[in-house]
Amino acid sequence: MSYRRIAVAGKGGTGKTSLTGMLIDFLIQAGKGPVLAVDADPNSNLNEVLGMEADETIGDVREQVNWAEREGNVIPGGMSKTDFFKLRLNQAVLEGDGYDMLVMGRSQGEGCYCYVNGILKNQLEILSDNYNHVIIDNEAGLEHLSRGSMGKIDLLLLISDYSHRSIQAAGRVKVLAEELKMNIPKMGLIVNKAPEGKLTESILEEIQRQELELIGVIPLDSNVFDYDSTGKPLVQLPEDSPAKVALKDIMKKLQII
């Protein structure tokens, strides 16, 4: 099984964006690119982990197109609304070093978005065919996942920290994915920020209660904290940083890199 389209989800603040950024970097370093990184969080910051500037979001484009007809002069003459939207979506793909990035931004304003959402979904499907991997960093609320706007997912990485509540949250995401019949071939739990990379009996019991498959543990790593508190891109972490080493091992085990 090759996991081409990977989504990352879990409770707020558990480390989804940090780990997604590192995963994208591993894929590029391993020559597994090109990668399409999708930042599906309205409070987007995946670009910062990767050290990239992000200006325009899909939400901005969608907003613009949705109101274009009202404002009259936004769509160039002779172009249909659909073609204009597709053009603007392509322009919103940010180019990084070895990867491209789409920032979803805020999702809904006033008015009906069904029409533009439909096109967005199609265009994402078409666009993602150009990449070896599509990696999606979700917001804690899972809006895009649950609306299916990201298309098919091959691997869902559930990220939790070292607490019962966030393992329970990961359990709920798994149940939601099942209820929505997303048919995700593999869903696994990664416990992040574990002191010395170890889990207690009680945490292990909670994982069992939630019927989650534990695929790896990542230690609490002061380097991650240092880089984030000084605004340095996490992809520049030293290779021997404990969190980086642990995530790399997990990705190798899953045969992703």
Ligand X SMILES: Nc1ncnc2c1ncn2[C@@H]1O[C@H](COP(=O)(O)OP(=O)(O)OP(=O)(O)O)[C@@H](O)[C@H]1O
Smaller CB distance to ligand X: residue 88 or 248?
248
Task: Answer yes or no: are the C-beta atoms of 40 and 217 closer than 8 Å.
Answer: no
- Residue 12 Cβ, how far from ligand X at the closest point, in Å? 4
Helices of type H across the chain? 16-29, 46-50, 58-71, 81-91, 114-128, 143-147, 164-179, 201-209, 222-229, 242-253
- Residue 97 Cβ, how far from ligand X at the closest point, in Å? 21
**Calpha distance 131→149 (Å, rounded):** 17
218 binds ligand X (CB under 6 A): yes
Burial class (CB in 10 A: 0-12, 13-18, 19+), 214: middle
> What is the token pair recorded at 14?
């558990």
Report the residue number whose CB is nearest to Mg ion: 17
- Residue 211 Cβ, how far from ligand X at the closest point, in Å? 22
Identify what 221 binds: ligand X, Mg ion, none; CB under 5 to 8 Å per kind: ligand X
Binding mask 139-178 for ligand X (x = CB under 6 A): -x--------------------------------------
**Calpha distance 103→100 (Å, rounded):** 10
Residues 6-65 touching Mg ion, rule: CB under 5 A, are 16-17
**Calpha distance 239→257 (Å, rounded):** 15
- Residue 8 Cβ, how far from Mg ion at the closest point, in Å? 9
Binding mask 26-65 for ligand X (x = CB under 6 A): ---------------x------------------------
- Applying CB under 6 A, the residues found at the interface with ligand X are 12-18, 41, 140, 192-193, 218, 220-221, 224-225, 228, 243
